[in-house]
C-alpha cells in the first residue's frame, strides 16, 4: 500500500499558501489541531487523535534482571509500529528510515529526559526490576505523527497502573489487581514534543503540519520541553540550515503549547480515575455472587450500589495484570509466585499464564 504521489499542482498550491501565511485548513501558522484523548478500560491503553492523525498506545510491564551498571533501575522502552499504514514517500526503505527516526526521537524524549523515576521500578536491587514497554500503533497518518505519539506515550504512562509486589527475604510475590490496588508510575515531569516544519530554505515555519504540508517540508525541528521550561530534547531532521533566532522563536512558541497540553493530560487522566474510583474500590475484597435471577446487571460501570451484588469490576478484570506480566525472562522462577485469582473460571483468556511461558 502506498500513499498517493503529490502532484506538481498540489505542491504549488500549498507552497503559495504558505508564502501568503495561510494554510489549507484555515489554521494560523502557530495553531495546533485539536487533541482528543480517549481511554479504554484496560490500564495504560489510550487512543489519541491530533486532528485526523490517530495513534493508540498500550503500556505493559515485565519483571527482568537489571543492567549490571545500573543495578537498581528499571527499564522503559518505546516501540512505534507504522507497518499498517500506507508507505510514506512511496518506498519501503524510506518508510522504515522514517519510522526509525521517529522511534529514536520518542525514546530519547522518554528515556533520556528521566521523566519516569526508574529507581521506583526496582523490586530487588541487582536482581529484579520492572521493565515497562509502550507499544504505539499508528492508525491514521494525517501529519505530525511525532507529537501525537508523544502525547499518547505520556498519557499511557500516566494512566498505567503497576501491580503491587512484596518482598519477604528471598520470596517475591506479585499481587493481582483484586488483592491489592495497583499503583501508578512515578512520573517526574511531562516532556511534550512540538513539531515545527520549515519550507522554502527554512524561511517559513509552520507548527503541527498537516500531511500535505509535511510531504513538502524541507525539514523539521522538534522541540521537547516540559512545563518547567526545561528542554528535554531538540531534533532537526531533513535538509535544513537555520539561524539561532529561528530556534529561539520556536522555543517560545513551543512553551505555550507545552503548558496547555501538560494541564490537559493531567486533567484527563485524573478525571478518568475519578470516574471509576468510587465504584471500583468501595469494597475491593468482598465478592458475593447473587444466586437468584437478577436482571439488574447493567454494564456495571455506573450503577452498582453496595447493598446489591458487589462485583469484581469489569474495568480491571482478574487476569488483566497477569496478562501483561510475562514471565519469560524471570531469573529464578521458583522464588516467585503469582497469585491464583480466578474466582470465576475464565474462558481461556489471552493471559500469559506461568505454565505457558516457561521455556
Partner 1 sequence: MTETLSEMTENDESIFSSLHCILSPISKATGSATFTLNDSLCTCLLNGPGELRQQQDAINRLQVDITFQARPGSNNTNSTSTKDKLIEQWLETLVHSTVLTEHYPRSQINIVIYEEQNLSGEATILACLCNTLCLTMLDANLPMKYAFAAVPIILHPTKGLLALPKTKDELASTTYFVFVFEITLNETLAMHASGEFDMKTLEQAITIAKPIAGQIFQFYRQELEKRLS
CB of 12 to partner 1, least distance (A): 23
Question: What stretches of the chain adopt beta strand conformation (E)?
Answer: 35-39, 45-50, 53-64, 75-81, 122-124, 128-140, 161-162, 165-168, 171-174, 183-184, 192-199, 204-207, 219-225, 231-238, 336-338
Tell me if 350 contacts partner 1 by CB under 8 A.
yes
CB of 104 to partner 1, least distance (A): 18
Q: Which residue in 59, 63, 151, 330 binds partner 1 (CB under 8 A)? A: 59
Q: Which residue in 21, 40, 186, 288 binds partner 1 (CB under 8 A)? A: 40
493531567: which residue's cell? 266
Tell me if 36 contacts partner 1 by CB under 8 A.
no
CB 138 within 8 A of CB 82: yes
Q: How many CA atoms lie within 13 A of 6 on its CB side?
A: 16
- Which residues ranging from 300 to 339 are in contact with partner 1 (CB under 8 A)? 300, 311, 314-315, 317, 323-324, 326, 328
Which string of DSSP letters, residue by residue, matches 178-203?
A: TTS--EE--B----EEEEEEEETTTT
CB 212 within 8 A of CB 169: no
Tell me if 280 contacts partner 1 by CB under 8 A.
no
Total number of residues that touch partner 1 (CB under 8 A): 48
Closer residue to partner 1 (CB): 16 or 79? 79
CB 220 within 8 A of CB 198: yes
Tell me if 352 contacts partner 1 by CB under 8 A.
yes
Dist. CA 75–CA 186, nearest whole Å? 13
CB 35 within 8 A of CB 49: yes
- Which residues ranging from 75 to 94 are in contact with partner 1 (CB under 8 A)? 79, 81, 84-86
CB of 323 to partner 1, least distance (A): 5
CB of 98 to partner 1, least distance (A): 16
Dist. CA 263–CA 227, nearest whole Å? 9
Tell me if 341 contacts partner 1 by CB under 8 A.
no
Dist. CA 158–CA 115, nearest whole Å? 11
Query: Of 56-64, 202-210, 224-232, 251-259, which segment contacts partner 1 by CB under 8 A?
Result: 56-64
Dist. CA 166–CA 118, nearest whole Å? 18
CB of 85 to partner 1, least distance (A): 8
- Residues 120-159 as x/- pattern, contact with partner 1 by CB under 8 A: -------------x-x-x-xxxx-----------------
Q: Which residue in 170, 245, 345, 355 binds partner 1 (CB under 8 A)? A: 345
Report CA-CA distances (Å) from 219 to 45, 128, 238.
Answer: 32, 43, 4
Tell me if 52 contacts partner 1 by CB under 8 A.
yes
Closer residue to partner 1 (CB): 127 or 357? 357
Per-residue b or e along 87-99, where b marks 16 or more CB atoms closer than 10 Å to that residue's CB = bbeeeeeebeebb
Dist. CA 86–CA 103, nearest whole Å? 18
Tell me if 286 contacts partner 1 by CB under 8 A.
no
Query: Of 41-49, 97-105, 180-188, 224-232, which segment contacts partner 1 by CB under 8 A?
Result: 41-49
Closer residue to partner 1 (CB): 23 or 257? 23
Residues that bind partner 1 (CB under 8 A): 1, 40-42, 45, 47, 52, 54, 56, 58-60, 62, 79, 81, 84-86, 133, 135, 137, 139-142, 293, 295, 297, 299-300, 311, 314-315, 317, 323-324, 326, 328, 344-352, 357
Amino acid at each position: 500500500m502506498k500513499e498517493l504521489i503529490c502532484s506538481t499542482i498540489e505542491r504549488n498550491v500549498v507552497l503559495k499558501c504558505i508564502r501568503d501565511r495561510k494554510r489549507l485548513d484555515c489554521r494560523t501558522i502557530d495553531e495546533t489541531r485539536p487533541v482528543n484523548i480517549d481511554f479504554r478500560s484496560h490500564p495504560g491503553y489510550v487512543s489519541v487523535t491530533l486532528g485526523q492523525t490517530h495513534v493508540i498506545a498500550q503500556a505493559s510491564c515485565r519483571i527482568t534482571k537489571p543492567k549490571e551498571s545500573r543495578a537498581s533501575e528499571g527499564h522503559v522502552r518505546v516501540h512505534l509500529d507504522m507497518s499498517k499504514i500506507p508507505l510514506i514517500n512511496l518506498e519501503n526503505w524510506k518508510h522504515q528510515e522514517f519510522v526509525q527516526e521517529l522511534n529514536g526521537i520518542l525514546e530519547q524524549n522518554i528515556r533520556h529526559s528521566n521523566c519516569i523515576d526508574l529507581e521506583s521500578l526496582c523490586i530487588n536491587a541487582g536482581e529484579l526490576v520492572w521493565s515497562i514497554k509502550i507499544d504505539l500503533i499508528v492508525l491514521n497518518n494525517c501529519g505530525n505523527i511525532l507529537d501525537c505519539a508523544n502525547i499518547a506515550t505520556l498519557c499511557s504512562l500516566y494512566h498505567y497502573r503497576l501491580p503491587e509486589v512484596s518482598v519477604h527475604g528471598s520470596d517475591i510475590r506479585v499481587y493481582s489487581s483484586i488483592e491489592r490496588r495497583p499503583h501508578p508510575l512515578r512520573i517526574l515531569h511531562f516532556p511534550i514534543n512540538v513539531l515545527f516544519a520549515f519550507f522554502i530554505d527554512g524561511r517559513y515555519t509552520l507548527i503541527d503540519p498537516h500531511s500535505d504540508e509535511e510531504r513538502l517540508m524541507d525539514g523539521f525541528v522538534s522541540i521537547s520541553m516540559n512545563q518547567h521550561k526545561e528542554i528535554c530534547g531538540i531534533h532537526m531532521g531533513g535538509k535544513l540550515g537555520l539561524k539561532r533566532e529561528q530556534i529561539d522563536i520556536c522555543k517560545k512558541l513551543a512553551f505555550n503549547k507545552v503548558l496547555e497540553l501538560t494541564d490537559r493530560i493531567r486533567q484527563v487522566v485524573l478525571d478518568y480515575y475519578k470516574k471509576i474510583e468510587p465504584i471500583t474500590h468501595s469494597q475491593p475484597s468482598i465478592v458475593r455472587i447473587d444466586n437468584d435471577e437478577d436482571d439488574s446487571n447493567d454494564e456495571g460501570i455506573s450503577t452498582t450500589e453496595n447493598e446489591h451484588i458487589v462485583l469484581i469490576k469489569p474495568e480491571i478484570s482478574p487476569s488483566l495484570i497477569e496478562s501483561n506480566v510475562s514471565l519469560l525472562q524471570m531469573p529464578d522462577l521458583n522464588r516467585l509466585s503469582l497469585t491464583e485469582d480466578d474466582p470465576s473460571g475464565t474462558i481461556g483468556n489471552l493471559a500469559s499464564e506461568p505454565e505457558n511461558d516457561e521455556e
